[in-house]
Chain A
């Protein structure tokens, strides 16, 4: 890789110390068996079809037009949205506005390795998936020839990053008062052999992404984004290899999971509106006071002018 002159680089041949710890190298079978105990409970005590409770909030970043924060236990995602701006380097008129998405992992986000600061292929892939999922949800006719920037930063990666990014982006867009057709929610599932892990953790995703030695075994990750009121699928990504029935089963479960998140999102958006009502009432009061002060100023100024 070329040297990045804009940042500080450590020694080239450094390796993570974790390679030398006892539980670094484990076989696929060992990892697979570790994920679930005899009572069908996962490592964090959840059942297979149990999603993590989502915590989310809006107005996270003061400098952005709209922003949000989504937390799925250890997975932490921040998103900010900015005012429309002219599309750079464009030479023809586009009647629909563009959404520019950028997903980035924090250098310290992943437990297995330090992330490089320059964008890698995985980040580009997530950015594109996010863009494609958001496009059907946003009224792009409202800002022709302009683009809206959506930046997602993953602070800690413990699985379901794309789902977290889509949920966060949906909230941030609504918070920025970007016109949208519907609220957008997303959920992930990891497929390992015959088991479906809803809302997987990083460990489960890691195993699901490994190619098993035996052939014909289902493995991979599916993420679905839904528009809740319109009951439309906005985004769908499937990684790995699996048969058709597995995909159909997983999609059905995911659609239900997406609906389960909707009340949480709605509650946050309503809270946001109430917060804005309170704020605008407060500002109105302040503005009146300020106007009175300004009028006083004006009088002084007029006196000065007449004195001249």
Chain B
């Protein structure tokens, strides 16, 4: 009965330690897999995916987990993050002009070398504040961006400085779905 169910879903199910394929120049290991002694093994349970690059003809073998994997964002990933500036940093003027605590931002993860912080960068046009609430305005009312550096609250009409992300709506949907959530 189990077997029937597997066939019905038409998906290849992987569990950790399953040998998936030989590894060579044309077949490389992707997310959810690891390479050991010339073979690719799964390290998550989920569904097998084989994707071939049109130009280079390289097949990437990966395992797609159906749950958010328990790992940290890698260098280069784009993450959705909630702003939580520590009270000591509040004195610094610079971040205050760009973000405030409680904002939701899109950012790229920088290499992690420090013991305490996971560094994020918003130094791209597409990255920055996505949603924010103005100080003193009722809960749940979001500000509307008026330029790349300012947002306005629709209820109180207060303008506040922010580093606004240039978002193409579909892109936002895709990015937030694809990337790991970081509180």
A touches B (Cβ under 8 A) = yes
Q: Which A residues form the contact surface with B (CB < 8 A)?
A: 65-66, 81, 83-84, 90-94, 139, 142-146, 148, 174-183, 227-230, 266-267, 269-274, 276-277, 279-280, 305, 308
Which residues does chain A contribute within 8 Å of B171, judged by CB atoms? none
The range of chain B's interface size is: 20 to 34
Which residues does chain B contribute within 8 Å of A179, judged by CB atoms? 16, 32, 34, 43-44, 69-71
B9 at the interface (CB under 8 A from A): yes
Kindly provide the distance from the CB of A179 to the nearest chain B CB, expressed in whole angstroms: 4
Among B47, B67, B112, B115, which residue has its beta carbon within 8 angstroms of that of A177? Answer: B67
B71 near A84 (CB under 8 angstroms)? Answer: yes
Instruction: Name A269's closest neighbour in chain B (CB-CB).
Output: B15
Kindly provide the distance from the CB of B30 to the nearest chain A CB, expressed in whole angstroms: 13
Separation of A273 and B69 alpha carbons in the complex (Å)? 13
Which residues does chain A contribute within 8 Å of B41, judged by CB atoms? 181-182, 229
Chain B 47-86 interface mask (CB, 8 Å, partner A; 1/0): 1000000000000000001111111100000000000000
Instruction: Name B114's closest neighbour in chain A (CB-CB).
Output: A93
B13 near A227 (CB under 8 angstroms)? Answer: no
Separation of A143 and B71 alpha carbons in the complex (Å)? 5
What is the count of residue pairs linking A and B with beta-carbon distances less than 8 angstroms? 113
Known: A177-B65, A180-B16, A229-B18. A270 touches B2 (CB 8 A): yes
Among B43, B68, B72, B115, which residue has its beta carbon within 8 angstroms of that of A181? Answer: B43
B11 at the interface (CB under 8 A from A): yes
B95 at the interface (CB under 8 A from A): no
Separation of A227 and B82 alpha carbons in the complex (Å)? 39
A-B interface, 3 closest residue pairs, ranked by CB to CB distance from nearest: A182-B17, A276-B66, A142-B71
B45 near A177 (CB under 8 angstroms)? Answer: yes
Kindly provide the distance from the CB of A10 to the nearest chain B CB, expressed in whole angstroms: 41
B19 near A272 (CB under 8 angstroms)? Answer: no
Separation of A265 and B16 alpha carbons in the complex (Å)? 11
Known: A83-B70, A174-B45. A270 touches B15 (CB 8 A): yes
Separation of A146 and B34 alpha carbons in the complex (Å)? 20
Kindly provide the distance from the CB of B170 to the nearest chain A CB, expressed in whole angstroms: 13
Kindly provide the distance from the CB of B126 to the nearest chain A CB, expressed in whole angstroms: 23
Kindly provide the distance from the CB of A139 to the nearest chain B CB, expressed in whole angstroms: 5
Which residues does chain A contribute within 8 Å of B68, judged by CB atoms? 177
B70 near A183 (CB under 8 angstroms)? Answer: no
A227 near B66 (CB under 8 angstroms)? Answer: no
Chain B 9-28 interface mask (CB, 8 Å, partner A; 1/0): 10101111111000000000
Instruction: Name B11's closest neighbour in chain A (CB-CB).
Output: A277
A273 near B46 (CB under 8 angstroms)? Answer: yes
Separation of A271 and B45 alpha carbons in the complex (Å)? 11
- 12 A-B pairs with CB atoms under 8 Å apart are A65-B67, A81-B70, A84-B70, A93-B115, A143-B71, A176-B70, A177-B65, A183-B17, A229-B19, A274-B13, A276-B67, A277-B47
Kindly provide the distance from the CB of B113 to the nearest chain A CB, expressed in whole angstroms: 7
Separation of A276 and B6 alpha carbons in the complex (Å)? 12
Known: A142-B71, A142-B72, A229-B17. A181 touches B113 (CB 8 A): no
Known: A270-B6, A273-B45. A174 touches B70 (CB 8 A): no
Which residues does chain A contribute within 8 Å of B174, judged by CB atoms? none
Kindly provide the distance from the CB of A181 to the nearest chain B CB, expressed in whole angstroms: 6
Kindly provide the distance from the CB of B8 to the nearest chain A CB, expressed in whole angstroms: 10
B69 near A272 (CB under 8 angstroms)? Answer: no
B154 near A269 (CB under 8 angstroms)? Answer: no
Known: A139-B34, A139-B43, A270-B13. A177 touches B69 (CB 8 A): yes
Known contacts A177-B67, A277-B9, then 19 further A-B pairs from the complex at CB < 8 Å, ordered by chain A residue: A65-B70, A92-B115, A143-B72, A148-B70, A174-B16, A174-B44, A176-B70, A177-B45, A178-B69, A179-B44, A179-B71, A180-B43, A183-B15, A266-B15, A269-B15, A269-B45, A270-B13, A270-B15, A277-B47
